[in-house]
Structures are given as C-alpha cells and as structure tokens.
C-alpha cells in the first residue's frame, strides 16, 4: 500500500477529500503525514481529527531557506512518502525534492491549464482573472509537478461552466466541487500504478482496463 504525504497551507478541503477517499476505500493508499507551511492552517485540525501525524514547516520556524528545505526532505523521509500531494500548498518545492519524486508529486490547479495558470495565478485570483477575461468555461487540473509553475504533465482535467452573474467566490465553489472529485481520483490512479507518463502525455489505465 502506497504512503501518501499531503502538503497544505490553508483550509485543506482537498486534503479532506483524500482523507475521505482513504477512509471509504476509493483510494487504496494511506496518508502517513500532513505537512503545513503555516501553523494556522485549518487542515492541521482535519489531519488530527483523522488521527494523521502532522508537521509544520514554516518560514517562521525555519527562516533560512536551506534549513526549511532540509526539514521538508527529512519529514518526507520520516513519513516514507511514495506520493506527495500538493493540496493548496502555497510554497515552492525545492528542485531537489522535485527531482527525487519525479512523477510522484501531484498538484491541483483551479483552472483548465494552460489557461489562467503560471506565476501569480493561485486561489481566488485565478477565478477573478477568468471572470475579467470573460471566459465561459473554466475547470480544474491535476498535474505532475515539475520545475516550472503549473507546467508539468496533466493527469486529469474537468470543465465547469462560468455563469454571467458569477462572482469569483461563486466560481471558486463550483470549481472546488470538481477539485474534490479529480484529486482523489488522481491519487487513486497513482496508488494503483494506473498512470503511464510519456513525455508530456499522461496515459491512464482506469480500473477494469487491467494494470
């Protein structure tokens, strides 16, 4: 069974979707640890409520970059991470970790990449930009993490409609529903070795297609 480590910075509703998936058997893996870049993240409470070990690795606690990166690598080793999930994690992962966990780190982004992604596009800001642009379709993307921002191979995407009277908050809620569907599905595909990466292309072997 694969060990999943989830990295968070905030409320952790995407973390909750993975906790739920592991509990109800739709994810064949176990969360061995939750790491937060902020000690105030409500996701830490979600983890504790589910009996999952947590660590806070913040800039406040480790002001020197190298120390913080070493602490992160130590924590991943201690939790024996097979799969790393960025679930609203707002810090940049060090290149060393990206290279060590190539095609084993996934991120969720609240738009249809390559639209509305890259540096400066995170959280509510993404949805503000979608509405300013006047797009009629948005969505969510789960992708592997590489050295760029939101540039790694795409695992799953799903669209949602944008309504004429949407606020950024209303659109965010609609996209979150899709995030909570896609992220656990992608984690399960990783846990069951159902993902093949060929350059930029991710080929999925869904359940029942034989592994």
Residue ranges binding its own copies (CB under 8 A): 112-116, 131-137, 139, 141, 153-159, 164, 199-204
Please give the structure tokens belonging to residue 1.
């069974």
Looking at the Cβ atoms of 59 and 136, the one nearer to its own copies is 136
Looking at the Cβ atoms of 55 and 129, the one nearer to its own copies is 129
Measure CA 87 to chain center. Answer: 4
Residue found by looking up tokens 């000690």 in the block:
39
Q: Is 109 tagged catalytic?
A: yes
Q: How far is the CB of 7 from its own copies (least distance, A)?
A: 23
Beta-bridged to residue 141, according to DSSP, are 109, 157
Looking at the Cβ atoms of 157 and 192, the one nearer to its own copies is 157
Q: How far is the CB of 5 from its own copies (least distance, A)?
A: 25
Measure CA 1 to chain center. Answer: 20
- What's the rounded Cα separation, in Å, for the pair 192 and 117? 29
CB 81, CB 32: distance < 8 Å: yes
Choose the catalytic residue: 109, 127, 143, 180. 109
Q: How far is the CB of 15 from its own copies (least distance, A)?
A: 23
Return the SS3 of 130: helix
CB 82, CB 110: distance < 8 Å: no
Looking at the Cβ atoms of 24 and 119, the one nearer to its own copies is 119
Helix pair 168-191, 13-24: axis angle to 10 deg: 40
Q: How far is the CB of 26 from its own copies (least distance, A)?
A: 20
Residues that are catalytic:
109
């Amino acid at each position: 069974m694969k060990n999943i480590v989830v990295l968070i910075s905030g409320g952790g509703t995407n973390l909750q979707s993975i906790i739920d998936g592991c509990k109800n058997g739709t994810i064949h893996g176990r969360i061995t640890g939750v790491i937060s870049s902020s000690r105030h993240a409500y996701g830490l409470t979600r983890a504790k409520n589910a009996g999952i070990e947590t660590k806070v690795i913040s800039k406040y606690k480790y002001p020197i970059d190298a120390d913080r990166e070493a602490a992160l690598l130590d924590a991943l080793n201690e939790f024996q991470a097979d799969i790393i999930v960025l679930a609203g994690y707002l810090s940049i992962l060090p290149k060393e970790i990206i290279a060590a966990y190539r095609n084993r780190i996934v991120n969720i982004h609240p738009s249809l990449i390559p639209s509305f992604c890259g540096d400066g596009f995170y959280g509510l800001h993404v949805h503000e930009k979608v509405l300013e642009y006047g797009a009629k379709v948005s969505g969510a993307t789960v992708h592997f993490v590489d050295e760029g921002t939101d540039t790694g191979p795409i695992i799953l995407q799903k669209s949602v409609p944008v309504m004429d009277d949407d606020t950024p908050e209303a659109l965010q809620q609609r996209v979150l529903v899709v995030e909570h569907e896609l992220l656990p599905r992608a984690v399960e595909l990783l846990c069951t070795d159902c993902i093949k990466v060929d350059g930029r292309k991710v080929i999925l072997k869904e359940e029942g297609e034989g592994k």
